[in-house]
């Protein structure tokens, strides 16, 4: 990591610290984190998955809203690095996806078909609680640089704190409510992307970009804008 990348990394953490105020938008925070992984680390694509009330992993933020990336991570959540990292609470490194075990056959086939050759899955964990994973996909085979993994785990830790509001996580009921709130927000955002894509005749990626731009330019939460788009009280 060169001096410019290190400076950008520090600037990102400063930005995240400024974001973690009382009324911040969790999904937007997670989006900033995965975008930072893509832009600052040796990573082609990144995504965050959270566990729902049943312990099943769902995509809540990714560097691309294209269905191929979302579907790939969902496959990994069923049998792949994501679910292994979630269950173990540890990093799962896959330096060459092509040579993974047949138990991950569907994940392997989808990864190679979409041009991904290596991956790291990092746990979103606070003490003995693992709530999801941060997943880094790369186009080339090989092991990630250790400094990139250290930075990515720091991002994962920030994401965990952002979701759990660390000071208030004392009881499992609070944890469940906070995780469900983040997942519910993502569902509304998915619906809003569809509305904007259909209304303006743009791709899902472009629709998401327009929603984020509107939220930022009007100092509104991403989830709030999405909800208003879905109930038709707002039009872009």
Listing DSSP states for 144-203 in one string gives PPHHHHHHHHHHHHHHHHHHHTGGG--SHHHHHHHHHHHHHHHHHHHHHHHHHHHHHT--
Answer yes or no: are the C-beta atoms of 152 and 120 closer than 8 Å.
yes
**pLDDT-based confidence at residue 196 (cuts at 50, 70, 90):** very high
- 219 found inside a domain: no
Say which CATH number the domain at 81 has. Answer: 3.30.450.40
Answer yes or no: are the C-beta atoms of 163 and 131 closer than 8 Å.
yes
pTM of the model: 0.72
The candidate with the shortest Cα–Cα distance to 8, out of 29, 30, 37, is 37
pLDDT confidence of residue 166: 41
- In which residue are the tokens 């720091």 written? 154
State pLDDT tens for residues 27-59: 888 888 899 999 989 999 999 999 887 888 988
- 27 found inside a domain: yes
Residue 132 phi, psi (nearest 5): 170, -160
Q: How far apart are CA 25 and CA 22, in angstroms?
A: 9
pLDDT confidence of residue 144: 93
- 231 found inside a domain: no
- 223 found inside a domain: no
- 187 found inside a domain: no
What is the total count of domains within the chain?
1
pLDDT confidence of residue 20: 64
**pLDDT-based confidence at residue 18 (cuts at 50, 70, 90):** low
pLDDT confidence of residue 96: 97
- 53 found inside a domain: yes
Mean per-residue pLDDT for 224-231?
93
The candidate with the shortest Cα–Cα distance to 165, out of 151, 152, 181, is 181
Q: How far apart are CA 236 and CA 161, in angstroms?
A: 32
- Domain span holding position 23: 3-169
Token output for 98: 């092509």
- 189 found inside a domain: no
- 161 found inside a domain: yes
Q: Would you give the end-to-end CA distance of the chain in angstroms? A: 39
Residue 119 phi, psi (nearest 5): -160, 150
């Amino acid at each position: 990591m060169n001096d410019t990348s290190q400076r950008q990394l520090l600037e990102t953490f400063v930005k995240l610290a400024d974001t973690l105020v009382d009324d911040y938008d969790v999904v937007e925070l997670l989006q900033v984190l995965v975008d930072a992984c893509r832009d600052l680390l040796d990573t082609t694509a990144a995504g965050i998955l959270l566990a729902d009330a049943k312990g099943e992993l769902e995509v809540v933020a990714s560097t691309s809203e294209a269905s191929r990336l979302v579907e790939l991570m969902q496959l990994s959540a069923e049998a792949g690095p994501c679910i292994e990292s979630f269950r173990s609470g540890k990093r799962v490194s896959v330096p060459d996806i092509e040579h993974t075990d047949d138990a991950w056959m569907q994940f392997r086939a989808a990864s190679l078909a979409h041009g991904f050759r290596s991956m790291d899955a990092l746990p979103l964990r606070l003490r003995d609680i693992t709530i999801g994973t941060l997943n880094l996909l790369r186009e080339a085979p090989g092991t990630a640089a250790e400094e990139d993994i250290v930075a990515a785990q720091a991002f994962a830790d920030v994401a965990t704190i952002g979701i759990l509001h660390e000071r208030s996580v004392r009881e499992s009921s609070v944890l469940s409510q906070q995780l469900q709130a983040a997942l519910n927000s993502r569902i509304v955002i998915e619906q809003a992307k569809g509305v904007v894509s259909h209304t303006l005749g743009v791709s899902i990626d472009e629709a998401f970009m327009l929603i984020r731009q509107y939220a930022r330019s009007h100092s509104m939460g991403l989830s709030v804008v999405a909800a208003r788009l879905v109930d038709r009280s707002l039009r872009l």
